[in-house]
Every structure is written in structure tokens, then in C-alpha cells.
Amino acid sequence: MNITLAMLLKIIIAIEFYFLYGKWSFDLLSGNGIEWFFLVIACYSVITYCFRDFNKFYILFFSIALGLFSGLDKNIGDLLACSRIIVFYPFFLLGTIIKKDIILKLKAKKTVLLISVFVVMLYLFLCFVKIDSLYILRHLFTGRNPFSEKIRDIGPLYRIATYFISTIIGFCLLMISPKQNIPIISKFGKNTAQVYFWHYLIVRILTANNVHIKLLRWNSYLGFVIYIIIAVLITLLLSLDVFSFPMTQVNKYISKEKNNKNEVIE
């Protein structure tokens, strides 16, 4: 399903680009667009299934080691989202290892909650106040680039640092997130995939032909607030059930085909 969505999204983006700019832009094998996420998830599902009978902790150790050194390859990049597949796989695999019961027990502890809030606030503070010092890590967090020349000699150590930061912040956000459903927000939260699928198409329309909506956030505090409000409104709009197309239809069709094959086999 995810590969189908990735290819469909590529086609839709190419069509939109043609109508906006009067020329075609389509790269079948590149994973530099937002469709990379669907490609990566599809690959992770296949990889994890193929190694289902192996010790997951050994696979996790190997995937981390590969992620640490993959950035030394100057040729690695967006081709088939190869770099992101390697760099981010340890997080996907870790999600299949950690038990839900452990997470719930930790979330119930107030000490863990307080520490998590403090860590997230500290991280946000550093991102705003020390952005110039931390910006050197940006290309590592994207997962799509080889190590820059500035850090190449000790690139694996920088990758360890970003792995550590991402794991800690991800864990803290998980601890902060509420356990119970929140009216409206929880319902919209179930539709994040469709928001991801459609949002870039709207952003491209808003930023096409010198309509620089993104410049609002740099002009003034008021502009920044307006920019955030626009982003929230777009998110809420795309969370509506009507925008579940075509993901719902693709999922139903694939599930139907799968069920038909199972009936034939039986």
C-alpha cells in the first residue's frame, strides 16, 4: 500500500507542478520529496518481515552500526530514499521491540513526566537560543545526506549524538502525550497520514508565483503567529474525512485482493 501511495503522490505532485509552472518535473527513483516517508515505511515492513525469525536486538545493533557509518559514503543520498532507510530503521525496529505495557507503566510515574517536560523545554530553548551552534547537526537529522566535510572525520560520533538526542526527545514526547482520548483532537490525530499526503500540494499552491506565505514567519512576531494559524487551519482542514481519499480506497482495494487470494489458496 505504501509504495502505491508513494508513486501516486509522485504523479500528483508532477501534475500540480506542471499546472503551476508550465513544465514537467518527475523523478521516479529519487526519494527527495515528501513521498519518501511512504517508501521508507514500505521497506521497513519488508525488512522486518524478512528478519522476523532473527534476534531483534542483534538486528538493532547492526542497523545502528550501519547508520553510523553510512554517512561516510559520499554517494549515498535520495536515490530510492536509501540513506533514510538506513539511518531511521533503528527507530522503527525499536518500536517493534518495546512493549506497550512498559510504556504505560512509565507514563504513570509523575517523576518521569516531570523530567520529560523539563527535557523537552530545555531542548526547545536550545533550539531557539543556540541554533547557530546546533545547526551543524541539521543535515544529520534529515537522514538524507552523507556527512558534511566539516564533521566527516568524526561523522559517526556526530551520528551517535543525533541518535541519542532523537531517542531521548522521542521518549520524552511519548511520556508527555496523554493516555486518554481528547475530543476532536484524537479523532483528527487518527488522520495524520492523509494530512501528510495532501499538505505539500497546498503548500506549493500557497508559495507558487511569488506568493511567499513562508516569509510571514520572519517579518514579525505577528507574521509568525499568522503563519502558525495558517498551518493549524490547513492541518484541521486536511484531517476531515473527505481527504482520506485516495488512501482509504487504495487500502480497501489491496485488502480485497489479499482476501481473494487467501480464499483461492484455501
In a domain, 140, yes or no: no
Going residue by residue through the chain, which has 266 residues, state the pLDDT in tens, using 9 for 90 and above: 678 888 888 888 889 888 888 888 888 877 677 888 888 998 999 999 999 999 999 999 999 999 999 999 988 888 888 999 999 999 999 999 998 889 989 988 999 999 999 999 999 999 888 888 888 888 999 998 899 999 999 999 999 999 999 999 999 999 998 877 777 777 777 788 888 889 888 888 877 765 566 566 666 677 778 778 888 888 888 888 888 887 777 777 766 655 555 544 44
Structural domain includes residue 228: yes
pTM exceeds 0.85 for this model: no
**Residue 259: per-residue pLDDT:** 53
Domain range for residue 241? 181-258
Residue 222 in domain: yes
Indicate the number of domains in the chain.
1
| Cell numbers that stand for 249 in this block | 480506497
Q: What pLDDT, on a 0 to 100 scale, did the predictor assign at position 266? A: 43
In a domain? residue 48: no
Let me know if residue 68 belongs to a domain. no
What is the model's pLDDT at position 212? 60
Report long-range pairs for 46-50 (Cβ below 8 Å, ≥24 apart): 47/89, 48/92, 48/93, 48/96
Domain assignment present for residue 45? The answer is no
User: Is 252 inside any structural domain?
Assistant: yes
Residue 135 lies in a domain: no
